[in-house]
Structure 1
């Protein structure tokens, strides 16, 4: 019978310990071991660093987050500082960026308490002052009043009238934006319909979302309006924000505005993504828009709420995601009826088909296979009329395809943008 003299649990634990805390700290700890604490060092190496850190059920980066949150909650500041420093300097696969660590401490503040988070930020900032330059994160002064929620962006309103409410998300990379992207919503919605895609694109892009006139927190105007006027709204917004040429992503009414913007203000558009939209409606559909206008004028928006939701979302989505449908319905019915009528007129009278050949920027057209409001044939017309336009059809998607199929929609956008 042979005997293996190597304690493999200890060696596996030591390997994990070195990977997470770094050789320098582990070597110092081992060198400082004595006959009093050596057995304890052996214990934690085998049980903490092998039995727990060696389990494949969670990524080591996730385990770093857990340790930081727990040591903060328990006010174990020596241990917290050890793991905070190690997390910032760790291997690429397990390292936390300073922004990721900030998110850990922000969330832990809610569950462990603000006093604990206050101390944790003090310790973490002390470490960053030491190693910030080493990891490319030199601490710069910033007034608390000048911060904004990264998942919402910095909000504002145009100084020109009608005032348009907007939000700007800076790229989270901290680098110059790869593109400036504008997201333009559908009739009856507001800028929140783009939250998911906006936050995804803001990883390395500057992202602008805004409320069309009469929607959300933007001003309404008297009388009817046109898509060309809505495109002029977008142009003055972009000029106020000094955006330069943008990647325009518009759905339904937002896609119509994008067409007019590319035609009437071509210097502002670098690329165009239009989804669930059209360049014109046939006579029967124009009449249907007029009927909708008359219904809203006589009975209010509530009278069309259910019918609009049935066009926005297919039956399966409405049954599985009733809360989302309710949220969009509430957004719709809260719009001022006159403002809604004004934009209904703009959408119903859209007419850019004969001019589409003048759009020369890279263009992607996204269609929903189940879209009743703007059927596939309308997207095909766009794709055939705009030079070199690409067409992607999303299955199981109706009119608000970006909401029904967010992953597929985002993948279509990201794939297209790779080539820009």
Structure 2
């Protein structure tokens, strides 16, 4: 069993903290940490910013309002000032206007004596039992130890080997899933890269994300891998989870696996989203992949990390979102070197071009306008090779387009799935 050195709760929490408070404030807090308060900074990042702010049940704008109300009620003025400032200067989707903050303060003046949470739950459960039939709500017994974080899903590992680590998010609607969607990550990443899209789709779909062999918490086995082996890994996972045909969303290596899966195991694929990927590299590029394997084996992943980040993210994004880039760099350099090199061989030798016409499911191809690793021309070749496939090009996006342009990427994927 592989050991993953990353603390995923901390990484997720740190990203939420940056999204809400901004990079400057977070960097200042982290840089000012000392041996006296570093553990406290770790705790609030994992619990406040992952366990609470990472839950998709409320949007960040609503959570801002709650924080302001509570800090007013408790007289926590330093924290209040921080969140007022962050709310006024925050990203457009979660920003509060001065008038909205005024209304929060008006209501807080009346309601600042909040009942204890335990009593509140007791009263709420009693009311739910009274109105359950009217609102179509089923109040069922549930074991606290068996529930999962709604923002990250239930985690597991395949019983077949090499064992694959995965997460499953059931539809938040409470209804039967419209589709089962599988999210397949890029080389040097892990299933965390899909948190944003997964939580969007999990409103009415069952969403599965997983770590490829040699990545994250999945097993790494010695040797070089083939794309057929990676596709067979995916097929094992889907059969263990009894998914039936799935909508496959894959980026870069994940898109290559999706192509091979659709060709080798067509009964498992309902539709394909192939992002920032290709069906084959020219010989010169294959030689570059071979050299990368040599470098990683001789000098480690750190030796290629900066070059990879330059391919993953364009220059302006790297300047504006240094914290996000640092997060992906940490993930890259902590990936098992054996597994990374093994997957490099599969990626470098991907070869589905001549077989694309055999793919018989709806397909959306997504390209990044600035992608150097898999340029738009490669995406066009995919779209032209797969019968009936459509192509979407995202502006101001490089190789990890789902990270650089999440709103546009999510809209493209959700819109495509809505047509199925």
TM-score with structure 2 length normalisation?
A: 0.74
* Alignment pair present for 1:259 and 2:259: yes
Q: Which residue of 2 aligns with 1:130?
A: 130
Q: Which residue of 2 aligns with 1:389?
A: 389
Q: Which residue of 1 aligns with 2:287?
A: 287
Task: Give the drift of 1:224.
Answer: 0.5
Listed as ranges, the matches of 1:251-400 within 5 Å are: 251-400=251-400
Gap runs ≥5 in structure 1: 1-60, 75-111
Secondary structure at the residue paired with 2:156? Answer: strand
Inter-partner Cα distance in structure 1 for 2:284 and 2:301: 22
Inter-partner Cα distance in structure 2 for 1:369 and 1:286: 22
Count residues with an aligned counterpart. Answer: 320
Gap runs ≥5 in structure 2: 1-60, 75-111
Q: Which residue of 1 aligns with 2:44?
A: none
Q: Which residue of 1 aligns with 2:93?
A: none
Inter-partner Cα distance in structure 1 for 2:250 and 2:231: 11
Inter-partner Cα distance in structure 1 for 2:176 and 2:245: 15
Which one has more relative contact order, counting CA pairs under 8 Å at least 6 apart? Answer: 2
Inter-partner Cα distance in structure 1 for 2:271 and 2:153: 23
* Alignment pair present for 1:220 and 2:220: yes
* Alignment pair present for 1:207 and 2:207: yes
Structure 2 vs 1, CA of residues 115 and 220 (structure 1 numbering), >3 Å: closer, same or farther? farther
Secondary structure at the residue paired with 2:133? Answer: coil
Q: Which residue of 2 aligns with 1:195?
A: 195
Secondary structure at the residue paired with 2:365? Answer: strand
Q: Which moved more, 1:155-164 or 1:140-149?
A: 140-149
Structure 2 vs 1, CA of residues 302 and 62 (structure 1 numbering), >3 Å: closer, same or farther? closer
Inter-partner Cα distance in structure 2 for 1:167 and 1:114: 36
Inter-partner Cα distance in structure 2 for 1:133 and 1:303: 61
Listed one character per residue, the Cα deviations across residues 115-158 of structure 1 (whole Å, up to 9, x for unaligned) are: 92111111111110111111111211111122110000000000
Tell me which structure has the larger Cα radius of gyration. Answer: 1
* Alignment pair present for 1:171 and 2:150: no
Q: Which residue of 2 aligns with 1:415?
A: 415
Q: Which residue of 2 aligns with 1:181?
A: 181
Structure 2 vs 1, CA of residues 62 and 325 (structure 1 numbering), >3 Å: closer, same or farther? closer
* Alignment pair present for 1:240 and 2:240: yes
Inter-partner Cα distance in structure 2 for 1:114 and 1:222: 57
Structure 2 vs 1, CA of residues 118 and 411 (structure 1 numbering), >3 Å: closer, same or farther? same
Secondary structure at the residue paired with 1:318? Answer: helix
Task: Give the drift of 1:212.
Answer: 0.3
TM-score with structure 1 length normalisation?
A: 0.74
Inter-partner Cα distance in structure 2 for 1:201 and 1:419: 14
Structure 2 vs 1, CA of residues 224 and 173 (structure 1 numbering), >3 Å: closer, same or farther? same
Q: Which residue of 1 aligns with 2:155?
A: 155
Task: Give the drift of 1:66.
Answer: 6.0
Q: Which runs of 4+ in 1 moved over 3 A?
A: 112-115
Inter-partner Cα distance in structure 2 for 1:406 and 1:66: 26
Inter-partner Cα distance in structure 2 for 1:114 and 1:257: 52
**C-alpha RMSD of matched pairs (Å):** 2.2
Inter-partner Cα distance in structure 2 for 1:138 and 1:211: 34
Inter-partner Cα distance in structure 2 for 1:180 and 1:350: 26
Inter-partner Cα distance in structure 1 for 2:325 and 2:113: 35
